[in-house]
Structure 1
């Protein structure tokens, strides 16, 4: 096929472009800005556009499919040309569905944990020599790309994001995959710019369940009350399998998972991650991997990129960075680090960076999210609030939202960096949670300071 990408530089888009190139398709694309690592990865395969910008002349009647990324706008000149020529235009999830219609589609959904669970499943499959197609939202150790599409795999494992499909398709991505096997890890209000009420957000997961094929299966976290309610209320003819956090213990900073063969050390930690592991075990079982093979493989799983990633460690200090930004993820991640190192001081730093987290109305959802930390720090950029055209946030609003009197709030990157590099890290854990970089923080400098 001849396939053209509009906005090829995105994280998911460039990985799909690389996967299709690997498959043997002819791939072209455009974007008005391409950042690292997309830039180097596209360049290495000869797929980086010669110039940044939009070039309608790239669209001809010889193109079989156009894939439209979220970064593009509805009036994009290349999109308008594609429509004029009557070309077939797909959103990212639409195209993945088209490529997997003849396969067993395994879709991992939920407000949190879906990247980790998908990564666990892929790690186990890879460890056991089982070849599957996939799409996951993080770079995995041992995998070249975040997307793989072939003609001969029986399964396609897909991370089911609830965000919008494209500028011209406002349906959540995970509504389009029509899973044969699905998992639902948790429901906690997010993306309020798209789903303005909690009820509206929950409705998207109810629709997700309706899209499971008749006779299919849903694996669900019964410890999440909303998940349990939504799944048990679903009327379509599907099999329902609940799971919950398995038994585990922590000894001298090592997490031991209870298995039929006795306690087994694992690389990951935190109640939420052990819960994710159990969901992954159920999925792998339905994909033909028995318990013994699962446990042997999962013992070597070190985590998905940017999820509780250890960036430095000495005899008396350890530092992690994590992608956590929504209230439920921040709470789970902070509690996980404290439970893993109960006798160490925990300094937890959160950057409010997303549209939802910078919304004054949504801020109240963060109440108690940092309570497990001994020292709690929040950083946000008033400039980011301005760019997102949101209502101004004041420091006292942050204090009130988190409901913690000793909360430290920074709005200046230099002040935050000074604070970070003035702390005594003896017998301490540092946790940096953000989907950004605290206004330009160099994580390598943090590593050097600690070590």
Structure 2
């Protein structure tokens, strides 16, 4: 939206409250446990896995996405009863009126940081500006919050080492699997769970989703069962 947008100009004249999309999302989820998935790739897959696991446990949730998931009817859903809010973190500039980056607003209780990959298309004119946004994001986590981060990305790992002492940093990597009789199984302390694995990214993203769901009250065994059903339906 441009500064001279007629609706925007009229709203200013009337003295109406004007909020950017990330501001609105935060205000609607202030009383909820905010789970924000951020990074250059894997966000939608991780959110999709969390959605599947929460639904299987019949745990209601709200969500705000930047693109549509096949498993959800809309990109945004807010309710009064859900205590969980899933947010797809966007690293781009908020609006023509507010040059802050969208990640600066969400203040997650549980943050997932996948990997970092700077380009000018993100709206950051330098690598330093890009990294600064994610540094701010990691420090904006609520007190006693959790940062679930991809340990094989050196830049992400460096950010995780600099977080406040009250935030718990939880690394994740590729989940172990075993091959048997031509089939693939997640190798876990609860037994082996068959999965159809499109590629290694599935195992990485699934581990991030598992750790987030654990913080939300989903037991690992229940999560693995859900992922077995999820992956076999791909």
| Structure 1 length-normalised TM | 0.49
Return the match for 2:13 from 76, 84, 88: 84
Does 2:150 align with 1:225?
no
Does 2:64 align with 1:166?
no
Structure with the larger RCO, 1 or 2 (CA within 8 Å, 6+ apart): 2
Instruction: Report the Cα offset of residue 81 of structure 1.
Output: 0.6
Decide whether aligned partners of structure 1 residues 78 and 122 sit closer, same or farther in structure 2, where only a CA change above 3 A counts.
same
Decide whether aligned partners of structure 1 residues 156 and 252 sit closer, same or farther in structure 2, where only a CA change above 3 A counts.
same
Determine if contact 2:120/2:126 at 8 Å carries over to the other structure: no
Instruction: Report the Cα offset of residue 166 of structure 1.
Output: 1.6
Quote the residue 1:48 is aligned against: none
Determine if contact 1:175/1:208 at 8 Å carries over to the other structure: yes
Aligned residues: 233
Return the match for 1:186 from 110, 115, 123: 115
Bigger Rg over Cα: 1
Decide whether aligned partners of structure 1 residues 193 and 286 sit closer, same or farther in structure 2, where only a CA change above 3 A counts.
closer
Instruction: Report the Cα offset of residue 94 of structure 1.
Output: 0.6
Quote the residue 1:20 is aligned against: none
- Unaligned stretches of 5+ residues in structure 1: 1-71, 304-309, 311-451
Measure, in 2, the Cα distance between the counterparts of 1:263 and 1:198: 42
CA shift digits 1:35-70 (9 cap, x unpaired): xxxxxxxxxxxxxxxxxxxxxxxxxxxxxxxxxxxx
Quote the residue 1:149 is aligned against: 78
Quote the residue 1:31 is aligned against: none
Does 2:36 align with 1:107?
yes
Does 2:209 align with 1:280?
yes
Secondary structure at the aligned position of 2:100 is classed as strand
Determine if contact 1:255/1:269 at 8 Å carries over to the other structure: no
Measure, in 2, the Cα distance between the counterparts of 1:260 and 1:80: 60
Secondary structure at the aligned position of 2:221 is classed as helix
| Structure 2 length-normalised TM | 0.91
Determine if contact 2:193/2:225 at 8 Å carries over to the other structure: no
Decide whether aligned partners of structure 1 residues 259 and 73 sit closer, same or farther in structure 2, where only a CA change above 3 A counts.
same
User: What pairs with 1:183-222 in structure 2 (closer than 5 Å)?
Assistant: 183-192=112-121, 194-222=123-151
Quote the residue 1:123 is aligned against: 52
Instruction: Report the Cα offset of residue 150 of structure 1.
Output: 0.3
Decide whether aligned partners of structure 1 residues 250 and 190 sit closer, same or farther in structure 2, where only a CA change above 3 A counts.
farther
Secondary structure at the aligned position of 1:300 is classed as helix
Measure, in 1, the Cα distance between the counterparts of 2:107 and 2:182: 41
Quote the residue 2:225 is aligned against: 296
Q: Which runs of 4+ in 1 moved over 4 A?
A: 249-255
